[in-house]
Amino acid sequence: MGEFRAFVCRQTGNIHYQTDFIDGSELKDELPEDIDDEDKYIPLPDKRELGLGKPLVLDFAREFLPNDFDDARYFFSKRGAYPKFKALLARRGAIDRWHVFEAKATEQALRDWCALNEIEIVG
């Protein structure tokens, strides 16, 4: 897909990011020269670091699709799991429920991460 890096400045709260996409397009923000200063900048975590990948899917399946839990677990034991999982959600009419579940979990994980890293959430 491409590489994405994002950092929060602990002093200003500004987010600096840089990404390259495989189709050749780029979305770049010039990163500060001192971006490697760990006292000043902290890298934003990805989904896996926040536990929002496979563990979240399995939590959802366990709670809302218990009869399909084994299938979901099997999907995520191999590559290409998300398209299969999304197809299962479509068959069960659970796409909207998944989006709500995922959004709430993402918000909570980010709030927890901010608290852990002493980043104040404003707004």
Per-residue pLDDT, 21:
61
Is residue 28 pLDDT above 80, yes or no?
A: no
Name the more confident of 39 and 27: 39
> What's the DSSP call for residue 53?
S
SS3 category, 76: coil
Residues 57-114: tens digit of each pLDDT: 999 999 999 999 999 999 999 999 999 999 999 999 999 999 999 999 999 999 999 9
Interior/surface letters 21-34, b for 16+ CB within 10 angstroms, e for the rest: eeeeeeeeeeeeee
Instruction: Categorize the per-residue pLDDT at 2 as very low, low, confident or very high, splitting at 50, 70 and 90.
Output: low
Measured from the Cβ of residue 41, the count of other Cβ atoms closer than 10 Å reads 20
Between CA 113 and CA 76 the distance in angstroms is 25
Quote the Cα angle for 110-114-117, to 5°.
140
Write down the pTM of the prediction. Answer: 0.78
Is residue 23 pLDDT above 60, yes or no?
A: no
Residues 47-57: tens digit of each pLDDT: 889 999 999 99
Measured from the Cβ of residue 105, the count of other Cβ atoms closer than 10 Å reads 17
Residues 6+ apart with CB under 8 A from 12: none
